[in-house]
Amino acid sequence: MKLCANFISTVVFFASVSSTLGSPYDSASTSSSGRDAVEPRRASSILINPAAQPDLPTVQAATAAASTVGLNLSDIQGDVLIGMKKKLELFYFFSIQNATAFKSKLKSDILPLVTTTTQLLAVSTQPITAVNIAFSQTGLTALGITDSLGDSVFSGGQFKDLTNLGDPGSTNWVPQFKGTGIHGVFLFASDTQDKINNTVSSLQSALGSSIKNVYSLQAAARPGAEAGHEHFGYLDGISNPAVTGFTANPMPGQAIVATGTILVNETGDSVKRPAWTKDGSFLVFRQLKQLVPEFNKFLTDHAIVEKGLTAQQGSDLLGARMIGRWKSGAPVDLAPLFDDPALGANPLKNNNFTFQHPDAILATNQTRCPFSAHIRKTRPRADLGIIPEDLANQIIRAGIPYGPEVSAAEAASNTTSTERGLAFVAYQSNIGKGFQFLQKTWADNAGFVHPEVGVDPIIGALAGAQRVVSGLDPTNSTKTLTLTTDFVVSRGGEYFFSPSLSAIASKLSV
Ligand code: HEM
Ligand SMILES: *[C@@H]1O[C@H](CO)[C@@H](O)[C@H](O)[C@H]1NC(C)=O
Ligand SMILES: *[C@@H]1O[C@H](CO)[C@@H](O)[C@H](O)[C@H]1NC(C)=O
Ligand SMILES: *[C@@H]1O[C@H](CO)[C@@H](O)[C@H](O)[C@H]1NC(C)=O
Ligand SMILES: *[C@@H]1O[C@H](CO)[C@@H](O)[C@H](O)[C@H]1NC(C)=O
Ligand SMILES: *[C@@H]1O[C@H](CO)[C@@H](O)[C@H](O)[C@H]1NC(C)=O
Ligand SMILES: *[C@@H]1O[C@H](CO)[C@@H](O)[C@H](O)[C@H]1NC(C)=O
Ligand SMILES: *[C@@H]1O[C@H](CO)[C@@H](O)[C@H](O)[C@H]1NC(C)=O
Ligand SMILES: *[C@@H]1O[C@H](CO)[C@@H](O)[C@H](O)[C@H]1NC(C)=O
């Protein structure tokens, strides 16, 4: 698979359609009255909608919720609050070559294509290809922005932060992520590859040499019944926080966060920021390679031995306990020994738990869910003794898998030969409290949430050192397991700021 696509060929191939620029809609559509045109131009949604993931609010419900806090959902880029629901998404990283030319194109050619939150909520208002844009610190600097955004993690860039994240140096990093050469990223989302290519090529013709494509990563929801599942096989995107002013009907057990936990300069964001940053959000991008056949071999080789379980069931149980959920999405806290697909598929029940049970001591008993489980490390719920729970360290996850399905040859050899993984995206108003905190202070910390529980067996990283995890065996919680392989390998990434549409129209393009 080609991870680093060269779009020159795309430009040539689609040269004939570059005249559709300025309209994100099908040429068949008669509508050309801009992004709020009511005439539908899609027959089906850009988004997947697995039963287990909470539905998005209707536009009416979201607008009503927004009005209670004075939020303008048409000013917020569409990806920020939507979560892990895209069918196909292209991450197109660029550098700015001519800031004067780029700023003028930003207003005339890019802004009209930028998809809003409101637009994505109904198929009838979705564009053919959704487009979002975000800038790194060096990108903002290239545009002549001298204001500090008040986030030192963002301004340093991700390359400088790699030690904090537990990465074993940068040897596994995609070369283009090393340093600060990436100025921005376009997110293109649609339901077919040709629609994405089409939009990319027309935008490239418009932008000409004002930018240069530095790197691209094409990502896609997995096929068929695996849609919504990450490459290890577990359903993802179940537990994103409900954001005040957007989520109309929080699901039982969903964390409810202040608007300003995700959106900059809104209630709950305590940092002083320049006024133009309002309703933007920091976008963390990480290309996380997943060693799937190797992970599966590990589960087979270390199957949990418990009365009444076959070897396969013991192996499935180990995997579920490492994540904290079964492949269906059912939490091990509520389904401790076997998967329960009906529970997994029910968003009214699949997030309704706290790790606290009347028959177990919260601080010591990990029979149901290991303290080190990925979902317990990244959202400890009742473990911290905070009522209702810790709400300061929450993110919206909006990533999507990339790379092909595991081939028969890879499965048979227990060895990855073609890269696949998670194009991880997280939105938050503060990277040091959001992504960086979850990775560094919780997942990588063997002493969180209690001493000696070990690191998160999925994403915990100790600069390449082998990882010791306890609590995975429900029959003996002091037994440890040593993970000699990192099944998730950081290929690096960058920190971006996803500005509001009004910031693009004013501060960034003039
Ligand atoms: C390849 C890497 C990763 C894989 C395979 C993965 C997989 C999963 C899965 C299967 C879930 C359960 C579904 C859900 O609750 O929505 C989950 C939840 C979650 N993950 Fe990850 N994840 C990865 C990376 C990350 C990273 C890097 C972070 C942040 C540093 C993160 C933070 C979270 C959070 C906050 C939750 C929700 C926990 C909850 O609310 O209960 N994940 N992940
Ligand atoms: C909401 O934001 C959009 C995009 O910036 C803008 O056109 C519109 O006027 C705003 N609406 C209100 C009520 O401020
Ligand atoms: C940058 O773009 C501007 C506006 O299009 C143009 O006038 C100028 O010549 C360009 N500069 C360079 C170095 O190409
Ligand atoms: C889309 O563009 C990529 C990168 O240039 C290319 O590899 C792929 O074949 C194109 N797909 C379609 C359907 O045009
Ligand atoms: C937003 O920023 C402005 C300008 O810095 C500031 O006056 C205002 O208090 C901020 N609002 C919030 C909710 O943070
Ligand atoms: C959620 O869990 C609580 C406490 O266990 C229970 O009382 C409630 O009925 C559950 N809600 C649903 C929809 O199952
Ligand atoms: C731990 O919790 C499980 C299930 O919640 C319970 O059955 C068991 O008795 C508890 N163990 C101890 C030692 O309290
Ligand atoms: C793959 O791993 C399984 C489980 O350990 C083992 O039985 C099998 O022999 C391995 N295959 C190869 C080709 O090494
Ligand atoms: C639990 O595991 C520890 C560490 O491997 C071991 O020392 C202990 O004997 C085990 N306990 C039981 C009851 O098997």
More confident residue, 328 or 9: 328
- Give percent helix, percent strand, percent coil of the chain, each to the nearest 5: 30, 15, 55
Give the distance (Å) from ligand 5 centre to CA of residue 268: 11
Residues 110-116 have a mean pLDDT of: 98
Residues with CB under 6 A from ligand 1: 230, 232, 234, 236-239, 288, 290, 323, 325, 374-375, 378-379, 395, 397, 421-422, 424, 435, 438-439, 443, 458-459, 488
Which residue puts its alpha carbon closest to atom 13 of ligand 6? Answer: 348
**How many CB atoms within 10 Å of residue 169?**
10
The counts of H helices and E strands in the chain are 15, 13
Residues lining ligand 3, judged by CB closer than 6 Å?
Answer: 98, 100-101
Are 330 and 351 a contacting pair, CB within 8 Å?
no
Q: Is the pLDDT of residue 136 over 70?
A: yes
Higher pLDDT among residues 505 and 23, named by residue: 505
CA distance 398 to 412: 32
For the question of residue 236 being annotated catalytic, the response is yes
* pLDDT, position 33: 43
- The band of 3, judged by pLDDT with boundaries at 50, 70 and 90, is very low
Q: Is the pLDDT score of 154 beyond 90?
A: yes
Q: Which atom of ligand 8 is nearest to the CA of 301?
A: 5
What is the C-alpha radius of gyration for the chain, rounded to an integer number of angstroms?
A: 22
Question: Is residue 37 very low, low, confident or very high in pLDDT (cuts 50, 70, 90)?
Answer: low
Q: Whose CA is nearest to atom 3 of ligand 8?
A: 297
pLDDT number for residue 15: 29
Two tokens, residue 210: 């004002």
- Annotated catalytic residue, options 75, 151, 236, 333: 236
Q: What three-state secondary structure class fits 278?
A: coil
Whole-number average pLDDT of the chain: 93
Find all residues with CB under 8 Å of 337, minimum gap 6, and list them.
306, 308, 309, 317
Under the banding of pLDDT at 50, 70 and 90, the label for residue 147 is very high
Ligand 5 centroid, distance to 278 Cα (angstroms): 8
pLDDT of residue 39: 65
Q: What is the mean pLDDT of residues 197-211?
A: 98
Decide whether any atom of ligand 2 lies within 6 Å of the 238 Cβ.
no
Say if residue 271 is preceded by a cis peptide, omega within 30 of 0.
no
Q: Is pLDDT of 11 > 50? A: no
CA 177 to ligand 1 center in whole angstroms:
22
Portion of the chain with pLDDT greater than 90, in percent: 92
Confidence bin at 170 (pLDDT 50/70/90): very high
Looking at residue 510, its pLDDT comes to: 87
- % of residues, the chain, pLDDT over 70: 92
In the predicted model, is pLDDT for residue 302 greater than 60? yes
Q: Determine whether the shortest distance from the Cβ of 218 to ligand 2 is under 6 A.
A: no
pLDDT tier, 41 (very low <50, low <70, confident <90, very high otherwise):
confident
The CA dihedral of 268, 271, 272, 276, to the nearest 10 degrees, is: -70
How does 30-61 read in b/e, with b if 16+ C-beta sit within 10 Å? eeeeebebeeebbeeebbbebebbbebbebeb
Mean pLDDT in residue range 414-429: 98
- At residue 195, does pLDDT exceed 50? yes
355: left (phi > 0), else alpha (psi -120 to 50), else beta?
Answer: left
pLDDT value at 124 more than 80: yes
pLDDT tens for 449-482 read 999 999 999 999 999 999 999 999 999 999 999 9
Q: Is the pLDDT of residue 29 over 70?
A: no
Segment among 37-46, 341-350, 413-422, 448-457 with least mean pLDDT: 37-46
Instruction: Tell if the pTM clears 0.75, that is, is over it.
Output: yes
Q: Is the CB of 476 under 6 A from ligand 9?
A: yes
pLDDT given for residue 89 in this prediction: 98
The yes-or-no verdict on residue 10 having pLDDT over 90 is no
- Is the predicted pLDDT of residue 290 greater than 60, yes or no? yes
